[in-house]
Structure 1
Amino acid sequence: MRCNSDDLAHYMQASYSHASMHIFITLSAVAVFIGTRHVFSKIRNEMANLTVIIIGAGPIGLTSALIAVQCKRVHRLVIFEEENRSRVENRSYQITIQPSLVSFLRGYGVDFDNLEGEWQDGCFYTRVGVYLEYIIHVLPLYRAETDIKFGTKFSRDCIDTIDVMSGRKLVLCCDGRTGLAGQILGLSDECAYHSTASFGALAAIERSSQTLVPKPEIRVHNIGFDLSAYVSSELEEKSKSTFSLKIFGNSRCRFLALAVKKSDTKIVKAMKTVLDKSMMRNIFLKCFNTYKRPEETSISDSFCLNNMKFSPRLFEIRLSQKTETAAYISDCDTFVITEGDASRSFNFNTGMDINLGLKSLSSLKPFIERITVAETEYNIMSSLIYKMEHSDRICKYFLKYGLKEYLFM
């Protein structure tokens, strides 16, 4: 049988058309599959939502709640708080919010103009109970379903309550440096300790006759002390160490923070090693009476004996940082992170300690947006790494600038 050229051309044309049609059908099927998958993925992402559980209704916990309810992905918010509502709203200690974080909180609707407090150099001073009461009042105004469980201590029994909640969940442990929520949920309790290259001492004076009126802080630098009455050897006159002092707190509870850069001078060694309570008591007494606000009355030695608590000597100022601050539990599709003192804590009170925790919350909204739609193991790990790296940067920044920013400047 012979095949002429016309038959061959016809056969090749038919084969080509058949192959082209097959390729077209295959490509069309792939395009439909990809398009359908993209549409379904887009719909799933748009419908994806998150339940946020917060443990601890302190300033970091409730600020986290305020951020969470403004994320469109969050449809439900549950807060566990050991104390009752009255005790939370009547907490008396004073907090100081620095200017950059005032702007950050304004962005989430905090109306400082309607909060009882005091302004100085852009810082806002208020009683923590006032701040907490405000947030508790505004949380129900947002669309997310909110349930604050006052008088409910978070324990292992509460894990079952979380497990039965449908969908993806985020648990924020904001129960302070002594809280056990992170440990109960499986996070390591191990800490890394970092030195700030400074020594410090603290004192607290309580005057029950005074009201809880917010007071701006007082900072004094280049203070020297004569310890000749307490130390037998003659102290160095050259290369004296100079101290920085801060007086802060409300009119009833006054606090003094005394700090000095690390050195080997005799005066620093004496204040670190000599355990003579009268020495430190007299130092704080003279500091308060010399640098107090003009309208405040002086305090006597006898008053200090009964109404002042203080560090008996200088100690090293350190920052402790949890080695594990974020995790994902696949069995119940739950993310767990630590915030505030539950994540990092400072053993030296400057009255601005809330700012360290608030700075970490700047990554909370992006983190919520990431984890709500994270599908693959890579997406989940990337989200956790993002949060942990941000937490690490907060610590590094504080070690480099924090004490200077909060006290030495």
Structure 2
Amino acid sequence: MLVLFDRKINSTLHRVTMTCDPDELARAMYMMSTNATVHIGITLSAIVVFIATSHVCRQIRKDLAQLTVIVIGAGPIGLTAALLALRCKRVTKLIIYEEESRARLEKRSYQIAIQPQHVSFLRGCGVDFDNLEGLWEDGCFYTRVGIYLGYIINILQLYKKPVDFNFSTKFSRDLSACVDSISGRKLAICCDGRNGLASRVLGLSDESIHHSTGVYGALAAIEKNNETYVPKSEIRVHNVGFDLSAYNSAAYEDEGKSKFNLKIFGNSTCRFLALAINKTDSNVVKTLRTVLDKSMMRNIFLKCFNTYKRADEASISDSFCLHHMRFSPRLYEIKLSQRAEIAAYIADCDLFVITEGEASRSYNFNTGK
């Protein structure tokens, strides 16, 4: 219609111009200006509609992309996950729930070992290891876990995004309802350990699947409460053999076939020993699997520590072990326990739930990692 209208105006203008009628010429010019105004109005309307639609679409995408992250459990896994969440542009708010108080959290005394590849990753996330108290050896960083947790908590508070710390708060069904009521998309990260209930409260099944690792192991802990806390590096020894002929003469026959892996770890106030060996039917393993005399395992751990300890550590006596050593009375099978469900999406409240760390999978064995 506009094309026909333009042609009509052009023909009229041509006719008026040829006849040189002033009134007709003025009328033709008016029609042309009116037509131009209509064109401009339509164009402006289209631009306004396009801008408004684009703005609405961008706002919808922005609202869908925005994410509130809820971390349950302020251990090393939980706080590291919180740090990664704050570095994500889509995360607009962080909420942390921890059953213990902050003071108690920062007093945790067990030692953690951060492997070289993890050190490099954490440096990229803003962790300044030069400002952390600890020990370096072979690219591995050893520190008291409370020091690491306190440092990460301070880092989280430096971000401009809102961070809501809830210490001394056990996650319960009432808090689950509060999480559901948060507007927008949410991500709950359950890091409350193998005995935590957060994942079940949020709707995940607590069923676990147990897998054999094909390894036997035993653990011991030596408490030295009179020592000053000093981080210690790990000691790893392979092909360790034991002479058990004093307990079982048959065990001496295949002593050379039963070689153990030993790891000594922990800080100066509490040293841990972990023994492990692949499943085998050797007499040595059978003896250590069925032994009823606890002194056998105590003597094994005692000799292992005194033989392979660090040069700056004092030897321990049998009488000291009687009062300050806790240990496995015999070898046991090391198993992996893994949750059947580790992630879920709850559409009603637009909530993603995932489990991490020991809340997702754990061993009945500790190697200090």
TM-score by length of 1: 0.75
Question: 2:201 aligns to what?
Answer: 184
Following superposition, the deviation at residue 245 of structure 1 comes to 0.7
What is the aligned length? 321
Deviation sequence 1:204-256 (CA, Å, 0-9, x none): 00101112211001111111101112225453237521111111100001000
The match for 1:219 among 236, 242, 248 is: 236
The match for 1:128 among 131, 145, 151 is: 145
Matched, 1:161 2:181: no
Question: 2:283 aligns to what?
Answer: 266
Question: 2:368 aligns to what?
Answer: 351
**Alpha-carbon contact 1:247-1:257 (below 8 Å) kept:** yes
The match for 2:91 among 47, 55, 74 is: 74
Question: 1:57 aligns to what?
Answer: 74
Which is greater in Rg?
A: 2
C-alpha separation between the residues in 1 aligned to 2:218 and 2:321? 16
Change over 3 Å in CA distance of 1:319–1:33 after alignment to 2: farther
The match for 1:243 among 252, 260, 274 is: 260
SS class of match (1:159) = helix
The match for 1:119 among 136, 147, 153 is: 136
C-alpha separation between the residues in 2 aligned to 1:184 and 1:232? 54
**Alpha-carbon contact 2:251-2:287 (below 8 Å) kept:** no
Following superposition, the deviation at residue 44 of structure 1 comes to 2.6
Which amino acid in 2 is paired with 1:212?
A: Y
The match for 1:207 among 221, 224, 230 is: 224
Following superposition, the deviation at residue 275 of structure 1 comes to 2.1
**Alpha-carbon contact 1:219-1:247 (below 8 Å) kept:** yes
SS class of match (2:92) = strand
Question: 1:294 aligns to what?
Answer: 311
Matched, 1:46 2:62: yes
Which amino acid in 2 is paired with 1:283?
A: I
The match for 1:318 among 310, 316, 335 is: 335
SS class of match (2:164) = strand
Change over 3 Å in CA distance of 1:229–1:72 after alignment to 2: same
**Alpha-carbon contact 2:75-2:191 (below 8 Å) kept:** yes
SS class of match (1:249) = strand
C-alpha separation between the residues in 2 aligned to 1:236 and 1:33? 90
SS class of match (2:252) = coil
Percent identity reads 66
Q: Please, which moves more after superposition, 185-194 or 291-300?
A: 185-194
Which amino acid in 2 is paired with 1:44?
A: I
Following superposition, the deviation at residue 40 of structure 1 comes to 4.4
C-alpha separation between the residues in 2 aligned to 1:299 and 1:159? 50
Following superposition, the deviation at residue 45 of structure 1 comes to 2.4
Which amino acid in 1 is paired with 2:165?
A: I
C-alpha separation between the residues in 1 aligned to 2:280 and 2:50? 66
Deviation sequence 1:105-124 (CA, Å, 0-9, x none): 11111111111111111111
SS class of match (1:102) = helix
Change over 3 Å in CA distance of 1:130–1:53 after alignment to 2: same
Question: 1:89 aligns to what?
Answer: 106
RMSD between aligned alpha carbons? 1.9
SS class of match (2:320) = helix
- Segments of structure 2 that go 5 or more residues without pairing to the other structure are 1-47
Deviation sequence 1:360-397 (CA, Å, 0-9, x none): xxxxxxxxxxxxxxxxxxxxxxxxxxxxxxxxxxxxxx
C-alpha separation between the residues in 2 aligned to 1:342 and 1:162? 19
C-alpha separation between the residues in 2 aligned to 1:328 and 1:61? 20
**Alpha-carbon contact 2:96-2:164 (below 8 Å) kept:** yes
Change over 3 Å in CA distance of 1:38–1:318 after alignment to 2: farther
Which amino acid in 2 is paired with 1:82?
A: E
Change over 3 Å in CA distance of 1:101–1:34 after alignment to 2: farther
Matched, 1:327 2:357: no
C-alpha separation between the residues in 2 aligned to 1:267 and 1:115? 44
C-alpha separation between the residues in 1 aligned to 2:282 and 2:200? 42
Which amino acid in 2 is paired with 1:244?
A: N
SS class of match (1:349) = coil
SS class of match (1:141) = coil
